[in-house]
Structure 1
């Protein structure tokens, strides 16, 4: 194998102990690997320096965001092939296996020799600065009010125009609700209809009705409170930590003529002091709460509900680990997407809601729906790529494309899931207010 691509392929296969399933094209225009496979393009030596100074996922992420590496061909196929080679080999302990294999390989004389050659290929022995899109070092204690505001701002305050391109007219940033074959209820296979179906499903699960008071925790751009007020006649309070989201939501509410029924606040859930509410929705927000704060989160929401009030907690879940203390937040997600975000198994979420005093009445797993939703968002981003880059930056657009495509595959492969948990603050009498028939939410 001649050229940089050949040497890089040899080194990768030695370290991984298996053939590389993608083709490599290096900065010297050399290529190596299986014909017809997706091509991993290594544009410059700086990509190697990123990997040498930060081996593993963070180095790869920085190279991707900076545009030092790219993929030609189908991104989903490339990610699936690489995930199958690296993260999924070895079953439950697979996340640890590549690092251990790499360390064993580097102990062999021939690999040390190849690594020295890689150093030579990389050029200047200077660590490149991280891309500007990487979250800066955070101030304050993990999941303090100050630090959570910083984390939310990093992800959500990147421009409402950008989110309109990705999310479409619904402006809903959570899993839509589809029918078989990717069709929304009613047979119309559009993202907007599927998002409307999800919002309506939540309203029905909460048993919303005229004059009730709803709290939407993590209200985003206001889609849930708008739907609930317009279709079910509730009075609603939506809270978010994002100034940009709040401004956008207030404008939508004013245009809908619903300012007398909906209030949007820039407020943390720990600062709410004007309960009780008849119902609470928390849609894609609890992933930001963190393990150390989850019991407090569940307890506060319980106390904010009237007796008989319902909570709908819509939350992404990860698979449980044999050793839960070994859980670490994905480095790419932590630095570039959701700083300080944490996922928990659904069993732990249900347990902590019950410990807070809730009666959990229903759990609906909808992970395949999120894969369909994410693929729609990726398609939206790719269709408006030039505008997305102009509105944010090339790096930010690349972060989103990788994050959403990889997440779609994770939901499809059951690496992560998403669940709607319906819980009730059941009064002392035991009368939950729910119908006898499961999922006949209105009674």
Structure 2
């Protein structure tokens, strides 16, 4: 298997997932309340073994081999790694965006525990999170620190040996305020930028922690959190003190390509809806698809969707191989895929006309869903900044390597 083609097993798994999402998960999603955590839906994701893909290879016993017997008939190889996560998110997004979102938000909140948590933390929280019984949340953004995550101001003031008190706010936090536990990033060393941030695992019932739901354009459960002297100890630290920014970035680097997969799934759903509509819609003495302007628009939608899919798969495969340029490739994948999905869904709405604006229409739903991914987990502008920074850093490193190489090693001596 290469990054640019899926083997038959993976293709079949994607088809199974679409069917599963449509038949088993969509009915649960439709019973949920927009903007609220849908616990039955999350528990169903756990019962079907789909949450296991979030943690494959990240913690002892977390692979799908032993814990996902009911998900599909696929073997663990088809579902493993970042590529498996991308295939899962794209397939769920195509058929049921609510199921995809519930899975992704659970992964963001619980992945730091799987990858950086202590044995005690994993034992207490990871099993229920993987089963969908404990709702997780990733609490990084603040009212004054969204795209500039290193500027966060939530204070973790020392209060004795290995004890801190958290004071401040978090905002636009997925699954807040209904989560059972939060991965919280706080400043333990003032003035140290990214080097002075610590990640904490904070149970929702910790004294001094309160939250408020936010009414957003997309129907996702999102809220704000207030910390009024919330006590945390060394046992709550994820990773090491003052190294929490690494916890945040490794989590985001893992999930950024799969945000692109979420976007590709929505684009594919919009494209297929457009193909069906334009092939059957009578217009100007023929079918809508017979108009060259329409046919060319559909061709552009399909080409961009496929290009985004390939870049997402390539970035995920690079992550699985442990290649050194993960940050750049993940940023490129998220940027291209989310911008492409916005374009494709918008074009689909235009080709469908007024019917696509009716509440309850697939494209009306996708139109509200597709806007958010261009902002969360690093806005498009942040992704461009990351890409440019990585490109110039690579160029500087290459130039330094060339300058340090002896001249005799870089060119052949003339013969005499």
| TM-score (norm. length: structure 1) | 0.24
Q: Which structure has greater helix proportion?
A: 2
